[in-house]
């Protein structure tokens, strides 16, 4: 599990050059969350999760405020939340979460990104059964033992706590997201390097070099799509 998350962190770091694309996606996600409930994160848990995640990507305050103001202003733009499942080279598994105002366009683009890079779309449920919905937090300046102790004192259940380099990674059930977050904040931990509701593969696969190169090209193509929010997979991309 730990190595998997390091792969995701490395992928995040490699995308720093595409900040404008990342910010645009967060702007849409924040708008939708604010539109579906109250525009106040303290009264809208979905919005609170998105904003916490946005902080880990250093999304500017202006982007956040603009998206929330758009929701407050009564804008009637509507989006559908969609999940696509598929297979990459050598039977690798991929989940794609999208947020779109044009379902036909998004389905076509996702299918093309799979098909042009050695993959293919699957039916709903063909892949997701091999993944677990998971809340993941990353904090610095503490040891795994420290974090475990304070979460136990707060009576918060977690799946696992690992130390990776200088970061403590906390894995919990999705419904424990806010409990973990509040327990950490109550002891002064207010900055997170990771704050995600994600899908983690139950096991990983390794690909030969040529298949891995093709797989990474496919993941890049999917992540570059305007409507795609998150891409999850079960491939060990190595160190």
Which CATH number goes with the domain that contains 6? 1.10.10.200
Shared domain for 125 and 139, answered yes or no, is no
Q: Over range 223-238, report the average pLDDT.
A: 91
Q: Cα 11 vs. chain centroid, distance in angstroms? A: 11
Dihedral sign (CA 82, 85, 88, 94): positive
- What is the chain's length? 239
Mean residue pLDDT across the chain: 89
Is residue 237, in this structure, part of any structural domain at all? no
pLDDT score of 77 = 82
SS3 string, 27-57, reads: HHHHHHHHHHCCCCCCCCHHHHHHHHHHHHC
Is residue 99, in this structure, part of any structural domain at all? yes
Shared domain for 99 and 186, answered yes or no, is no
Rounded to 10°, the helix 19-36/61-72 angle is 30
Q: What is the pLDDT of residues 165-189, one digit of tens each?
A: 788 999 999 999 999 999 999 988 8
| CA proximity to 100, closest of 124, 83, 121, 75 | 83
Is residue 51, in this structure, part of any structural domain at all? yes
Shared domain for 55 and 145, answered yes or no, is no
The answer to whether residue 226 scores a pLDDT higher than 50 is yes
Is residue 116, in this structure, part of any structural domain at all? yes
pLDDT score of 83 = 97
pLDDT score of 2 = 46
DSSP-H helix ranges across 73-127: 103-115
Shared domain for 149 and 193, answered yes or no, is yes
| pLDDT above 90 as % of the chain | 72
Q: Over range 153-160, report the average pLDDT.
A: 92
Is residue 140, in this structure, part of any structural domain at all? yes
pLDDT score of 165 = 79
Q: Over range 3-21, report the average pLDDT.
A: 56
Q: Over range 80-102, report the average pLDDT.
A: 95
- Tell me, yes or no, if the pTM score tops 0.75: yes
Q: Over range 90-97, report the average pLDDT.
A: 94
pLDDT score of 158 = 93
Determine the Cα–Cα distance for residues 128 and 216; give it in Å rounded to an integer. Answer: 20
Q: What is the pLDDT of residues 15-43, one digit of tens each?
A: 555 688 889 999 999 999 999 888 888 89
The answer to whether residue 122 scores a pLDDT higher than 90 is yes
Determine the Cα–Cα distance for residues 2 and 162; give it in Å rounded to an integer. Answer: 7
The answer to whether residue 214 scores a pLDDT higher than 70 is yes
Is residue 196, in this structure, part of any structural domain at all? yes
Q: Over range 112-138, report the average pLDDT.
A: 95
Q: At 147, which CATH number?
A: 3.30.70.980
Shared domain for 119 and 216, answered yes or no, is yes
Shared domain for 157 and 125, answered yes or no, is no
Is residue 92, in this structure, part of any structural domain at all? yes
Number of domains in the chain: 3
pLDDT score of 4 = 53
Shared domain for 11 and 118, answered yes or no, is no
Q: Who has greater pLDDT, 219 or 164?
A: 219
Q: Which pLDDT band holds residue 12 (cuts at 50, 70, 90)?
A: low
Shared domain for 123 and 208, answered yes or no, is yes
Phi then psi for residue 172, to 5 deg, are -145, 165
DSSP-H helix ranges across 158-234: 177-186, 209-223
Shared domain for 6 and 64, answered yes or no, is yes
Shared domain for 7 and 61, answered yes or no, is yes
Q: Which pLDDT band holds residue 198 (cuts at 50, 70, 90)?
A: very high
pLDDT score of 75 = 74
Host domain of residue 148: 133-200
């Amino acid at each position: 599990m730990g190595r998997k998350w390091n792969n995701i962190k490395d992928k995040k770091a490699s995308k720093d050059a595409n900040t404008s694309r990342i910010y645009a996606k967060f702007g849409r996600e924040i708008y939708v969350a604010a539109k579906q409930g109250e525009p106040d994160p303290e009264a809208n848990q979905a919005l609170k999760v998105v904003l916490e995640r946005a902080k880990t990507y250093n999304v500017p305050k202006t982007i956040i405020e603009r998206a929330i103001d758009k929701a407050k202003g009564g804008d009637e733009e509507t989006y559908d939340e969609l999940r696509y499942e598929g297979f990459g080279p050598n039977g690798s598994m991929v989940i794609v979460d999208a947020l779109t105002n044009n379902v036909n366009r998004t389905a076509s683009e996702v299918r093309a990104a799979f098909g042009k890079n050695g993959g293919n779309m699957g039916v709903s449920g063909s892949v997701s059964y091999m993944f677990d919905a998971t809340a993941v937090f990353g904090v610095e300046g503490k040891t795994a033992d420290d974090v475990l102790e304070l979460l136990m004192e707060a009576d918060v259940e977690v799946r696992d706590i690992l130390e990776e380099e200088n970061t403590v990674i906390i894995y919990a059930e999705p419904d424990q997201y806010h409990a973990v977050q509040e327990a950490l904040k109550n002891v002064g931990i207010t900055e997170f390097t990771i704050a995600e509701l994600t899908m983690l593969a139950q096991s990983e696969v390794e690909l030969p070099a040529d298949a891995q190169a093709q797989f990474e090209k496919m993941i890049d193509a999917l992540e570059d799509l305007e409507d795609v929010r998150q891409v999850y997979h079960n491939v060990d991309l190595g160190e």
